Amino acid sequence: MDAALSRNGRWAMRTFFALVVVFLYAPIVILLIFSFNNSQVPSFPLSGFTLHWYHQFLENGSLRGALETSAIIAAVSSVGAVVLGILASIALARRRFRGKAIASAFLLSPLVIPFVVFGVSLLLLFHSIGIQPSMFTVMIGHVVISLPYAILVLVPRLEQIDSSLEEAAYDLGASSLQTFRRITFPLILPAIASAFLIAFTTSFDEYAVASFVVGTRVTFPIYLYSALRFPDQLPQVIAVAVVVLTVSLVVVVAAELGRRSAERRLAL
């Protein structure tokens, strides 16, 4: 009999799963609690309940500017990563050419390159060609590091689609663009949405690369890291972290519901 199916095995697996859940989500719960603590020092026992730190966050122009900068960079770089990911995925999943394995490894190489090394390389590259650090340079870096995630999401979806559907469209006189727009794109739309969200999250939270190529407008992770050095700003950092977590949770749940709805419509 399988040990996992025994009574002791089931008890051990449930206990292990509960410990994993506590390990993952206990810090988030503690963060939520301290965001309402009426004290600048995040410690127990709590001093009282307050919404003062959320109000300060709303009035902090620098913090809101950092959030806006990260949101713009993440949105633009995610669109770029998804567009390039679609093109690369179609080539990898639908075309046969020499050096396909090498091209695939090259496109996925940012997954194994340390971000610090990549950030230094980008800094030297931009300096050598005369490009000043700015939001644009951060976008380029984030497109590169987000592209592999988009490819890893899109390629399996394309491989699940029967290529005879596209061949039938070609036989009926459709061009490559028409075939993609009317056949391929609707079928991979849930994967595109997933790839965009993964790329957006990767860009929004990324610190190492941005710290080397950022300009005068700092991103949200860089601002948070610098704010941690000042104890009086720590409660605001906790409050904005809770806001970002809440918004991220709502977006992920909405995207998952939308993905399932789209797949059900496509299955009909």
Of 10-14, 184-188, 251-255, which gets the smallest average pLDDT? Answer: 251-255
Query: What proportion of the chain, given as a percentage, has pLDDT over 70?
Result: 91
In this predicted model, which residue has the larger pLDDT, 34 or 265?
A: 34
pLDDT (tens digit per residue) in 85-143: 998 888 888 877 787 888 888 888 888 888 888 889 999 988 888 888 888 999 999 99
pLDDT (tens digit per residue) in 8-24: 777 888 888 888 888 88
Residue 7 buriedness (CB in 10 A; 0-12 / 13-18 / 19+): exposed
Rounded-to-5 percentages of helix, strand, coil across the chain: 80, 0, 20
pLDDT > 50? residue 153: yes
Closest C-alpha among 184, 174, 1, 6 to residue 89: 184
What pLDDT sits at residue 262? Answer: 65
What pLDDT sits at residue 161? Answer: 79
Q: What pLDDT band is residue 1 in, cutting at 50, 70 and 90? A: very low
What pLDDT sits at residue 2? Answer: 52
Q: For the chain, give the mean pLDDT.
A: 82
pLDDT (tens digit per residue) in 48-61: 777 777 877 777 77
Residue 89 structure tokens: 């995925």
Q: How far apart, in whole angstroms, are the C-alpha atoms of residue 151 and residue 54?
A: 38
What pLDDT sits at residue 257? Answer: 73
Q: Are 220 and 66 in contact (CB under 8 A)?
A: yes
What pLDDT sits at residue 265? Answer: 67
pLDDT (tens digit per residue) in 193-207: 888 988 888 888 888
pTM (global) more than 0.85: no
CA angle centred on 195, ends 190 and 201, rounded to 5°: 130
Q: Which CATH superfamily is 35-267 part of?
A: MetI-like (1.10.3720.10)
pLDDT > 90? residue 186: no
Phi-psi domain of 97 (left: phi exceeds 0; alpha: psi -120 through 50; beta: other): beta
Q: Are 33 and 238 in contact (CB under 8 A)?
A: no
Query: What proportion of the chain, given as a percentage, has pLDDT over 90?
Result: 11
Q: How far apart, in whole angstroms, are the C-alpha atoms of residue 260 and residue 250?
A: 16
pLDDT > 80? residue 72: yes
